[in-house]
């Protein structure tokens, strides 16, 4: 009987470690630009974009999330640009999102970042947030689906692309070839 108890405990520990692995970032290089993560829809918790002559990328210590407040949905990505901390927040009007299950309604949605009530906010290192003046840009949610583990809903996986041309400190800048593949477990 002790033998079976030990087997059950080991299986529980193993299954918990599998679930924990879904919170880790898995960087698979893009075939065309290996500095960027490949576009996937598997919940690898990565994001990246070409930013000027360098890259804005997720790292092991990166964070990301979705917040919904007063008719506005924020998707925020906090990572690295060269050796500096940087974050981008895409803020746009959207129908109510109260749980991660509600995120599936994003599938196929493209947000024009020049639209009314849309904002692209950048925070670079320890500077104040800059709400950027976007001349063109889009945020495209190609896929949003629920991940089930052992038939139990665990998180929403949202995947898509983004790009923007904007003014920052009066100078034109470009973010291109942006992509994200994120597992979202909660909504603030």
pLDDT tens string 150-161:
999 999 999 999
How many whole angstroms separate alpha carbon 96 and alpha carbon 117? 15
Residues above pLDDT 70, as percent of the chain:
87
What is the pLDDT confidence band of residue 25, given thresholds at 50, 70 and 90?
A: confident
Model confidence band, residue 122 (pLDDT cutoffs 50, 70, 90): very high
pLDDT for residue 188 is more than 70: no
Report the range of poorest mean pLDDT among 21-30, 75-84, 88-97, 104-113. 21-30
Shortest CA distance to 91 belongs to which of 121, 65, 112?
121
Contact assessment for residue 78 and residue 63, using Cβ atoms and an 8 Å cutoff: yes
How many separate domains does the chain show? 1
Domain membership of residue 32 as a residue range: 2-184
DSSP state of 188: -
């Amino acid at each position: 009987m002790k033998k079976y108890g030990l087997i059950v405990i080991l299986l529980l520990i193993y299954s918990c470690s599998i679930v924990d692995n879904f919170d880790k970032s898995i960087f698979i290089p893009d075939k065309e630009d290996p500095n960027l993560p490949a576009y996937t829809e598997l919940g690898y918790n990565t994001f990246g974009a070409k930013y000027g002559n360098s890259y804005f990328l997720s790292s092991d210590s990166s964070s990301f999330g979705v917040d919904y407040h007063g008719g506005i949905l924020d998707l925020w990505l906090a990572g690295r640009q060269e050796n500096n901390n940087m974050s981008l927040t895409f803020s746009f009007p959207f129908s109510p999102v109260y749980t991660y299950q509600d995120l599936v309604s994003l599938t196929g949605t493209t947000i024009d970042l020049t639209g009314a009530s849309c904002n692209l906010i950048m925070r670079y290192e320890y500077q104040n947030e800059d709400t950027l003046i976007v001349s063109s840009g889009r945020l495209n949610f190609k896929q949003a689906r629920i991940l089930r583990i052992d038939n139990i809903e665990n998180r929403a996986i949202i995947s898509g692309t983004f790009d923007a041309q904007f003014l920052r400190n009066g100078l034109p800048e470009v973010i291109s070839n942006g992509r994200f593949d994120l597992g979202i477990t909660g909504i603030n």
